[in-house]
């Protein structure tokens, strides 16, 4: 979101960022925009280090469990979101119990609220201040935003963490429906019910958290159908997948020389910003596998140098990922499957070797695999040097992977307007028109039985039953008459 905020500032908009005091994503002071900090109670708030450690521990715990299947994977994600939601509840309560802060926000006369839908506090605050809201992101607390806003037929739209594609067998469709129903029940009981209480306490409008999500003016969804499985959409869903992507810039002299001298090309390996340290035995296997390949390797790595590290590998605590992916010598990208990294790989046409760790990363990599642009290594716990070596060998020697990814890159770039420009347009559109409620479909206000035409179906069934009964009764009468006259004639 910071990319969008800075672009809005550059265009002359005044932006105020509301942050929690223990967040480590946003600094307390910025020269680019105004910051309001919500002070959390000391006895309830985790420190920045605690949050980071909990996040890392959770990621590694999931990654090193046996490959989760069906209900276990689903339950893992629910438990993770429940822990995060506890912190969010404290943040929302601290915001609304601070009358001084609320007074400043009301006196500021903002034009709109720009929020991440995964954090419900933005939607609650927008309703409290009676402001239009733009939701920036793809995920609600427990599902894809499409399931809340757009028609999502379960016959070809897989639910979160189902590990399914849009081409499902009967058993897979059954699994998808089961997970959808289970997710709806568990999400309401364990997550949304808490936020519903906050809505009742601070808004007093009778609206639920889900109602607020459905009433959002615009959703800026970080998604592109070049990458995502096609599905029905709505006018207030705006797709900006890859909005942070841009042409690569020049590299440092050290990196530039490392790439220029790589006759066989270079492989990039990064598991993202949260996973800073790998367990020693995993790092050893990865290092040994990479040491066997003919390409050079740039590995984002923090910690003690792996014992089997090859001479072809450079370790960096931070790397300019976008700029590296844009270099012609890059042959493959070993990644965990985060959206930003995958869209950068698509933008630059670099095939991916995926090692998913948590959340939606498996599904992200699965979509690239289905399109023939990625190899998926499913379990980090049992990852071996031979798997790493064979994956790199396959993806660099089989030209279909690069061809397919280059095709995705051409499709992704072939748009009339860059997704960042599109996002800015819709923000300014909502400001100019004081909202965009006219784009919201009436389906978001219908109860489930009306949306699914249950009432109409029941009536049609009743009419059909009466019609069949009527026909059957008439036939019985006719048969009786025939038998009566036949018997009378015989007599």
- Is residue 176 within 8 A of residue 160, CB to CB? The reply is no
- 113/74 Cα distance (integer angstroms): 32
Which of 14-21's residues contact partners 24+ apart within 8 Å by CB, and which partners?
Answer: 16/108, 16/110, 18/95, 18/105, 18/125, 20/45, 20/91, 20/94, 21/45
Q: What is the DSSP string of 368-396?
A: HHHTTSEEE---STT--HHHHHHHHHHHH
Q: What is the pLDDT of residue 448?
A: 87
- What are the C-alpha distances in Å from 258 to residues 75, 253, 263, 315, 327? 44, 9, 10, 12, 12
- CB crowding 192-226: b at 16 or more within 10 Å, else e: bebbbebbeebeeeebbbbbbbbbbbbbbbbbbeb
- 354/377 Cα distance (integer angstroms): 6
Q: What is the pLDDT of residue 65?
A: 52
32 Cβ neighbours under 8 A, 6+ residues apart: 5, 6, 9, 15
Full pLDDT tens readout for the chain, 491 residues: 888 999 999 999 999 999 888 776 677 777 788 888 888 887 565 655 555 555 554 555 555 555 555 556 666 667 777 777 888 899 999 999 999 999 999 999 999 999 999 999 999 999 999 999 999 999 998 889 999 999 999 999 999 888 899 999 999 999 999 989 988 898 888 889 999 999 999 998 999 999 999 999 999 999 999 999 999 999 999 999 999 999 999 999 999 999 999 999 999 999 876 566 677 888 899 999 999 999 999 999 988 888 899 999 999 999 999 999 999 999 999 999 999 999 999 999 999 999 988 778 899 999 999 999 999 998 777 889 999 999 999 999 999 999 999 999 999 999 999 999 999 999 999 999 999 999 999 998 888 899 989 999 999 999 999 999 999 999 999 988 888 777 777 76
Q: What is the pLDDT of residue 486?
A: 77
pTM (2 d.p.): 0.88
218, containing H or E segment: strand 218-221
Q: What is the pLDDT of residue 13?
A: 94
- Across the chain, how many H-helices and E-strands are there? 19, 12
Tokens of 72: 């276990």
Q: What is the pLDDT of residue 61?
A: 52
């Amino acid at each position: 979101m910071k990319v969008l905020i800075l672009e809005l500032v550059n265009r002359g908009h005044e932006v105020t960022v509301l942050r929690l005091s223990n967040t480590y994503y946003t600094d307390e002071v910025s020269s680019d925009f105004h910051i309001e900090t919500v002070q959390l109670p000391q006895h309830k708030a985790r420190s920045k280090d605690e949050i980071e450690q909990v996040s890392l521990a959770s990621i590694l715990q999931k990654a090193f469990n046996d490959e989760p299947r069906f209900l276990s994977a689903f339950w893992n994600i629910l438990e993770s979101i429940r822990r995060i939601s506890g912190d969010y509840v404290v943040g929302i309560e601290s915001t609304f119990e601070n009358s001084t802060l609320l007074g400043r926000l009301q006196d500021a006369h903002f034009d709109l609220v720009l929020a991440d839908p995964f954090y419900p506090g933005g939607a609650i605050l927008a309703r409290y201040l009676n402001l239009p809201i733009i939701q920036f992101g793809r995920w609600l607390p427990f599902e894809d935003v499409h399931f809340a806003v757009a028609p999502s037929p379960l016959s070809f739209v897989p639910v979160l963490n189902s590990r399914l594609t849009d081409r499902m067998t009967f058993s897979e469709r059954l699994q998808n429906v089961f997970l959808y129903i289970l997710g709806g029940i568990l999400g309401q009981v364990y997550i949304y019910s808490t936020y519903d209480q906050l809505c009742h306490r601070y808004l007093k409008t009778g609206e639920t958290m889900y109602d607020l999500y459905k009433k959002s003016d615009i959703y800026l969804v970080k998604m592109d159908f070049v990458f995502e499985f096609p599905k029905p959409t709505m006018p207030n869903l705006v797709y900006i997948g890859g909005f942070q992507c841009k042409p690569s810039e020049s590299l440092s002299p050290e990196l530039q020389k490392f790439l220029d001298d790589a006759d066989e090309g270079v492989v990039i390996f990064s598991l993202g910003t949260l996973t800073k340290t790998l367990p020693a035995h995993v790092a050893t296997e990865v290092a040994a596998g990479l040491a066997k390949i003919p390409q050079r390797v740039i590995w984002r790595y923090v910690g003690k140098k792996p014992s089997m590290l090859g001479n072809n590998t450079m370790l960096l605590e931070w790397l300019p990922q976008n700029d590296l992916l844009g270099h012609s010598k890059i042959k493959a990208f070993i990644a965990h499957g985060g959206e930003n990294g995958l869209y950068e790989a698509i933008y630059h046409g670099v095939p991916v070797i995926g090692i998913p760790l948590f959340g939606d990363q498996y599904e992200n990599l699965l979509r690239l695999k289905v399109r023939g642009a990625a190899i998926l290594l499913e379990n980090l716990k049992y990852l071996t040097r031979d798997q790493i070596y064979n994956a790199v060998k396959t993806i660099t020697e089989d030209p279909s992977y690069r061809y397919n990814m280059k095709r995705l890159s051409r499709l992704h770039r072939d748009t009339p307007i860059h997704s960042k420009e599109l996002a800015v347009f819709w923000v300014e559109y909502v400001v100019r028109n004081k909202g965009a409620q006219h784009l919201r479909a009436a389906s978001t206000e219908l109860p489930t039985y009306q949306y699914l035409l249950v009432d109409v179906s029941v009536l049609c069934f009743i009419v059909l039953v009466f019609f069949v009964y009527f026909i059957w009764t008439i036939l019985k009468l006719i048969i009786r008459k025939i038998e009566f006259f036949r018997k009378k004639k015989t007599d």
